Each structure stands twice: as C-alpha cells, then as structure tokens.
Amino acid sequence: MVEIRPSRPDEVQIQKELWQAAFGDDPRYIDWFYQCCWRPEDMLLLLEDGKLASMLALLPQTVTLPGGGTAAAWYIYALATDPAARSKGYGRQLLLYADEFLRQRGADCVTVVPAEASLFKFFSMVGFLPGFFTRKVELLRSMTTPSRPEDKVEPIGPEEYNEIRRSALEGIPSVLYGEELIRYQEGMGKLSGGGLYRIMVGDFRGCAAAEYLNEESVLFKELLLPPEHMPRGLAALAAKMPGQRCFVRTPAQWDGMQGSYLQPFGMVKWYNREKGALWGEETQGYMGLGFD
C-alpha cells in the first residue's frame, strides 16, 4: 500500500538515510539542511507498506513578475527515491500530490531545478515549463585581468547579501529568498571553503556566492555585477580566492563576457492562471541559487 503525507518530527533519521542513498551527498551537507531549514510540515513522504520510498522538500520563494507584482512560490528540492523503489512512478505521484498540497496553501506556482538535462523531459510530463535561465562562462585564472587595489572582496552574512541581491535583481523577473535560505547557501559554501561575498568595484557594490568544486575549481553560483563591472569583479575575486579555474553564473538578461552562453536552469508550473499569463512563455527568469 502507498501512503503520501507530510513528514513528522521523529522521522529525520530515515529521511537522511534516503537522501544519502539517493544522492550520495557528503553527510555534512545533509546535516546542514536539517539544521538550517528543515520543517517537517514542508517535507512530503511517500511510504510503501510503511517504509519510506520517496520524498521531497518544499522551500518558500517569491517570484517577481514582468512589469511588477509578485507570486507566492514553493521550490521542489531534494526529490529522492530509494534506489530499490525506482521505476515505480513514485516521484511522479509525489509531484502530483504536491500540486494539490500547494494549491491548498494558496501557492501561485511551483518551481524545480532538474539535476541533469534529461530530467527536463521528466518534469515537462507533469506540467512544468522552462522558466529560468542562466548565463554561464568558464574562465582560467590566466584569462582574468590584473586586479585593482581599489576593488575589494569581503565575506558577508546572509542579511547584507540578500540586501545586495534584491537590489541587483530589481526589475528582473527572478526568484527572491528569505534570509533563512540565503543562510543555507552560506553554509553550503563554507563547507567547501567558499561562502557569500561583497564585491566593491570602485563605488559599485555587488555580490557573489561561491563553492569550491575541488582545490583548483570554484563555482560562483551567482555573480551579481553589471556586465561592465564583471571583468574587474572577477579579477578581484581571483586575487582573493585560490584556484586556477572558475565557473560563473549570471542572469540571462545581462550581456555576458566573451565566451558566455545561455543554459536552461529551472522550470515552473503555474497554479494561478492570471499570474502565469503575466509571466508568459518567453520570459527568461533568473533563479541563480538552486542549492544544487
């Protein structure tokens, strides 16, 4: 028998075990999620004959709409299925249950970031459409310009980061987060040797969220600096952070550096038809932080 329901406070350990079995993540990252932002009522479980077989987390978002206005959104995160229970359609069942669950909460839409390109097709089969894109560029340290002494990079906390982030994204259809989830990103970055940073290019203030992929490569999950300031910002970051290679994500709406390219990032399913119509099918929204 299959049962789907929100989780309970005493079910943390079995969820961590499923997360580890499904994704193979470092236990420190799993523990940080449960320490920082887990709420039992926001975790949906699918049980097969009383045993946990699949689960997903729901994280709150605010989506800013083209032309102004906002939508109440939830982000589907850590959709995990026990390897022994795959190919039974449990992920699909959970997603369909989540639709009704979120409608009852008054959600306008739900979002997701497919973990790999092949999963865009899977999510499209349950009503998701491409909605969020990112501009990416890969650089070697030798490709950056020399840093200027007046340009500075300093670690900052979630509150200041979120202030800079929201200011930088004003007027861009995008996903906004509460401070709790920015703190989650901060912790993920610090576990790898990165974190959240303020970037001063002259008098202009931007921000970056960094995680190390290995000792030589750093991923800037988002770099929020206007295109004209980006080369100097990257030079300042290169001077601050060790490594020989960096991968950079920026909003799709901004002109990129030479060699940059657009890539689908996240998908959206609209429950509120009016707000979905305002978003439209051609909008290239920005999510940036998918906690992937």
In the prediction, which pLDDT does 257 show?
Answer: 78
In the prediction, which pLDDT does 161 show?
Answer: 99
How many C-beta neighbours within 10 Å does residue 181 have? 21
Tens digits of pLDDT across the chain (292 residues): 999 999 999 999 999 999 999 999 999 999 999 999 999 999 999 999 999 999 999 999 999 999 999 999 999 999 999 999 899 999 999 999 999 999 999 999 999 999 999 999 999 999 999 999 999 999 898 888 889 999 999 999 999 999 999 999 999 999 999 999 999 999 999 999 999 999 999 999 999 999 999 999 999 999 999 889 999 999 999 889 888 999 999 999 888 778 899 999 999 999 999 999 999 999 999 999 999 8
Same domain, 177 and 237: yes
In a domain, 286, yes or no: no
In the prediction, which pLDDT does 65 show?
Answer: 98
Same domain, 163 and 231: yes
Same domain, 207 and 269: no
Query: Strand runs (DSSP E) across the chain, as ranges?
Result: 2-6, 43-48, 51-64, 70-81, 109-112, 129-140, 152-155, 175-176, 195-201, 204-214, 217-224, 245-251, 261-270
Task: Quickly list DSSP for 13-28.
Answer: HHHHHHHHHHH---HH
In a domain, 59, yes or no: yes
In the prediction, which pLDDT does 144 show?
Answer: 85
In a domain, 94, yes or no: yes
Domain at 144, CATH number? 3.40.630.30
Number of domains in the chain: 2
In the prediction, which pLDDT does 148 show?
Answer: 93
In a domain, 285, yes or no: no
Domain enclosing residue 75, as ranges = 2-131+265-279
Dihedral of CA atoms 137, 141, 143, 149 in degrees, nearest 10, equals 110
Q: Enumerate the β-bridge partners of residue 247.
A: 138, 219
In a domain, 289, yes or no: no
In the prediction, which pLDDT does 145 show?
Answer: 86
pTM: 0.96
In a domain, 243, yes or no: yes
Same domain, 124 and 140: no
In the prediction, which pLDDT does 284 show?
Answer: 96
170 φ, ψ (degrees, to nearest 5): -60, 130
In the prediction, which pLDDT does 164 show?
Answer: 98
Same domain, 123 and 169: no
Dihedral of CA atoms 113, 118, 124, 125 in degrees, nearest 10, equals -130
Same domain, 111 and 151: no
Same domain, 116 and 154: no
In a domain, 237, yes or no: yes
In the prediction, which pLDDT does 254 show?
Answer: 87
In a domain, 188, yes or no: yes
